[in-house]
Amino acid sequence: MKQFILIFIGGGTGSILRYAISKLLNSPSKGIPYGTLVVNCLGSLLIGLLLGYSLKNQSLSSNQLAFLIVGFCGGFTTFSTFSYENTMFLKSGDFISFIGYTTASLILGISFVLLGFWIVKFF
């Protein structure tokens, strides 16, 4: 039960922060939803850093990992919003934005997880 509460608190915190960043950076006139892209990249980097640190040092408990990765990062990052935004690109016929946003999100997300692992490994 304790992990459920930790995930709930972490998820709520991450969601509020994601919402604030998205409100700041997303604009209907910009086309690409930069706020979503930024939070997904930052969340991916944070997951890489946390998992890398946890594997290297064996110092984070399962409760801490649940709070930070499942809760906070899970609430902070957003696949559902990414999917919705891509659906809107397709519905409007904006295939260039769809391809660019999807490709950038996937490549950057995976790259930022790997960067997080690399940072922990070498520092």
Residues of the binding site for Na(+): 74, 77
Binding residues: 74, 77
Contact status, residue 79 vs residue 42, Cβ threshold 8 Å: no
Alpha carbon distance 72, 83 (integer Å): 20
Instruction: Give the tokens for residue 122.
Output: 């070498």
Place of tokens 């409760």: 63
- Rounded to the nearest angstrom, the gap between the alpha carbon of residue 123 and the centroid of all alpha carbons in its chain is 23
Q: Write phi, then psi, for 78 (nearest 5 degrees).
A: -150, 105
